Amino acid sequence: MQEDRQGSPRSVAIQGEPGAFSHTAAEQLFGPSIELVPTRTFDELFEAVATGRAQRGMVPVENTLAGSVQGNLDRVIRHSLQIVGETRVRIRLCFVCPPGRDLSEIRTAASHPVALQQCFGFFAKHPHLEPVAAYDTAGSIRDLLAGDAEYDAAIGSDLAARIYGAEILEEEIEDDPENFTRFFALSSSAEEGPFPNPKTSLAFVVPHEPGSLHQALGVFSERGVDLTKLESWPIRGRPWEYRFFADLRGHAKEDLVECLEELKVLAREVHILGSYPEWKTLS
């Protein structure tokens, strides 16, 4: 869990239905008394936060098995939102069905495509089961228990199973136990702090010139700033141009002021995505 829980907002938008792993992340960061604002797509989620329909948004940004969730950090820039918190959720996938069903009677199991991809070993062990793609893990369980589904079973969280009254036939069916997803909490405005263990996420684009990336990264190394993550993604509509996303230890308006000012001189564009408390596990 988050070591120092954030001030709890009243409403948090998630992509998916109650019981999704984003729901778990929201409760982990803000507590169980939040009002969920379920949305069907990430674009709808970002719009809900940008327009004030939800005070916060909870979005996945990377998974230890599947990698980065493409597009969500670009959406942070596009909607002018701020990252105000982070957490990580251990992804434990359960195989569930309506109460009273037997495994031998089940022929199809639905879930989000990413969840299905993380259960190859389970489907290999049960070759009679056919995976069926659904838009959401929790939504597949909800529809199954509501009698609105054309499949026999679903794969999702134990939270979703409890919410919708499903029977868990098998637990932790994911292929790799080191399966975690990192989530960002989003807001329409920045949180100034101060707070312990500050961390900053940013995006920048450097010129197509020899040594430009080396110079940009030198801004951090020369000042002893800990760069905890760096990756590049293509910029939509600008072929063969790339935007770099970085995580740094420190607060943008406190520890990192000088290096960010220098970076703005060297880079073609710089976006400060937010400063927030670094996620810590309880000892």
Q: Which residues are catalytically annotated?
A: 181, 183
Cβ(154)–Cβ(111) under 8 Å?
A: yes
For residue 210, the one-letter residue type is P
Q: Name the DSSP letter for residue 166.
A: P
Q: What is the dihedral of CA 23, 25, 27, 31, to 10 degrees?
A: -160
84: CB partners within 8 A, 6+ apart: 6, 56, 185, 186, 187, 190, 191, 274, 276
167: CB partners within 8 A, 6+ apart: 96, 97, 98, 99, 100, 101, 161
Unique residue bearing structure tokens 């999702």: 156
Tokens of 101: 């069903």
CA distance 130 to 235: 37
Q: Name the DSSP letter for residue 190.
A: -
Cβ(80)–Cβ(50) under 8 Å?
A: yes
Cβ(75)–Cβ(42) under 8 Å?
A: yes
Cβ(249)–Cβ(195) under 8 Å?
A: no
For residue 127, the one-letter residue type is P
